[in-house]
Amino acid sequence: MPQFDKGFPLPCFYIDKRLTITSTTGTGVDKYLQAASFLTLVEEGSRSKLQTFLSGGETAESPVEVNLYLRNQKFQLVDLYMSWESELHGVVVVVPKQNVYDQSALVLEGLRGRLRDTNFQLYEEKEKLSKIIDEKNALSAPFITLSSKTALVPLFGDIEAEKMKTIETHVLQRAYSGGYDLVFFDFTGVGDITDEGFQVLENIVRSMSYLGPEIVIVGLRPAHARQVYELRRTLNIQFQPTLEQALHLERVNRAQAVIPQKEADTDG
């Protein structure tokens, strides 16, 4: 039979076969009702359960739940663990349910604390990832000034709604603040175009056209053409096969516009 000293953290009652208490030890044992028989400690409604539990004369693998009397005659719900040294002597270890609940509460609070820390770490990582994605998306459509009146928006990768929403404000702000007459959208580096991404792209092009610059789309592949050509129905947009051809045409048009002006100055 195990021997427990006074420093043992749970109350222990040594009993004989008749349930007479032969000795006690352990922390908290003094708070229970003083009695010659362990059966007297047990509330009447739990006694038959206890007698069945102890009648086997063997060490019980599972505890039994009973109410024990305290010194103030109140009850305390406990688990009893029984170990027999022989047919005549045994020890009962008392585990108050409140201790179990307290321990469970501490464990639960610890888990909650770890969960809060984990959630905060996940939130920080999510914010970092979101920032990286935003930066990556912003690089997918840089706004490049070609001249005082001409700008280029080269698009890279797949045209997706989230990516287009990321670049929308930046592109429109640059177009508005620059006072450009002509803006090229270059599709040479574009992969797939989702329906949702195309809707956001259409909003960008439409909003930019309201700001005044002429919009030219270049570098369309056959896979993109049918979808992007839909913009022509509602917007005044020009299309050119390549950026090089579009820039050449822009230079020609600019030169032609200058010649009549010179002739007008000469006539004057």
DSSP codes of every residue in 218-245: E---HHHHHHHGGGGGTS-EEEES-HHH
pLDDT given at position 257: 64
Q: What percent of the chain has pLDDT over 90?
A: 9
* Structure confidence at residue 58 (pLDDT): 58
Q: Which two tokens stand for residue 147?
A: 């001249």
Between residues 100 and 68, which one has the greater pLDDT? 68
Kindly calculate the radius of gyration of the chain based on its CA atoms and give it in whole angstroms: 43
- Lowest model confidence (mean pLDDT) among 71-85, 88-102, 166-180: 88-102
| Model pLDDT for residues 95-137, shown as the tens digit of each residue | 888 655 555 555 566 667 777 777 777 777 777 766 665 555 5
pLDDT of residue 184: 93
pLDDT of residue 235: 80
Predicted pLDDT at 152: 92
Give the per-residue pLDDT at 258: 56
Listed in order, strand segments (DSSP E) in 97-231 are 144-145, 150-159, 182-193, 214-218
pLDDT in tens, 175-221: 888 889 999 999 988 999 999 999 999 899 889 888 888 899 999 88
User: Which of 245, 134, 258 is closest to 184 using CA atoms?
Assistant: 245
Q: For 3-28, b where at least 16 C-beta lie within 10 A, e where not — what string?
A: ebeeebebbbbbbeeebebeebbbee
The distance between the two most distant Cα atoms of the chain, rounded to a whole number of Å, is 134
Q: CA-CA distance, 206 to 195, in Å (whole number)?
A: 16
pLDDT (mean) for 40-69: 81
**Could you give the CA distance from residue 212 to residue 176 in angstroms, rounded to a whole number?**
9
How is residue 141 written in tokens?
């459509």
Distance CA 13, CA 19 (A): 10
Cα–Cα distance for residue pair 137/259, rounded to 1 Å: 43
Rounded Cα distance between 86 and 105, Å, is 37
Query: How far is 176 from 209, CA to CA, in rounded Å?
Result: 10
What pLDDT shows up at residue 230? 78
Separation CA 133–CA 117 (nearest Å): 24
Tokens 């100055």 identify what position?
265
- Residue 26 pLDDT: 81
Domains and CATH numbers, the chain: 12-96 (3.30.450.20), 140-267 (3.30.750.24)
Mean of pLDDT values over 256-260: 60
SS3 string, 38-99, reads HHHHECHHHHHHHHHHHCCCCCCCCCEEEEEEECCCCEEEEEEEEEECCCCEEEEEEEEHHH
pLDDT at position 62 over 60: yes
Task: Give φ, ψ of 43 to 5 degrees.
Answer: -60, 145
Q: Is the pLDDT of residue 91 over 80?
A: yes
The per-residue pLDDT for 266 is 52
User: Is 171 in a helix, a strand, or coil?
Assistant: helix
- pLDDT for 75 beyond 90: no
**pLDDT, position 179:** 87
**Is the per-residue pLDDT at 167 higher than 80?**
yes
Looking at every residue in the chain, the average pLDDT score rounds to 80
Identify residue 45 by its one-letter amino acid code: G
